[in-house]
Amino acid sequence: MKAPRISFTIQVFASLLAGILCGLFFGEYTQILAPFGTIFIGLMQVTIIPSVVIFIITGIGSIGHEDAKKFLLTVASDPAVDLVSGYNRISFHAIRVSQCAQRLFF
The predicted-structure confidence for 54-72, as pLDDT tens digits, reads as follows: 998 888 888 888 887 887 7
pLDDT higher than threshold 60 for residue 95: no
Other beta carbons within 10 angstroms of residue 22's beta carbon come to 13
- Model pLDDT, residue 85: 65
Check if the beta carbon of residue 80 is closer than 8 Å to that of residue 88.
Answer: no
- Model pLDDT, residue 82: 66
Domain positions in the chain:
64-106
- Model pLDDT, residue 17: 96
Compute the distance between CA of residue 106 and CA of residue 102 in angstroms, rounded to an integer: 5
Alpha helices in 1-106 (DSSP H): 8-26, 34-61, 65-105
Name the amino acid, one letter, at 75: V
- Model pLDDT, residue 35: 92
- Model pLDDT, residue 91: 54
Check if the beta carbon of residue 54 is closer than 8 Å to that of residue 47.
Answer: no
Distances (CA, A) of 99 to 8, 89, 90, 92: 55, 15, 14, 11
Whole-prediction pTM: 0.43
- Please state the φ and ψ torsions of residue 37, each to the nearest 5 degrees: -65, -40
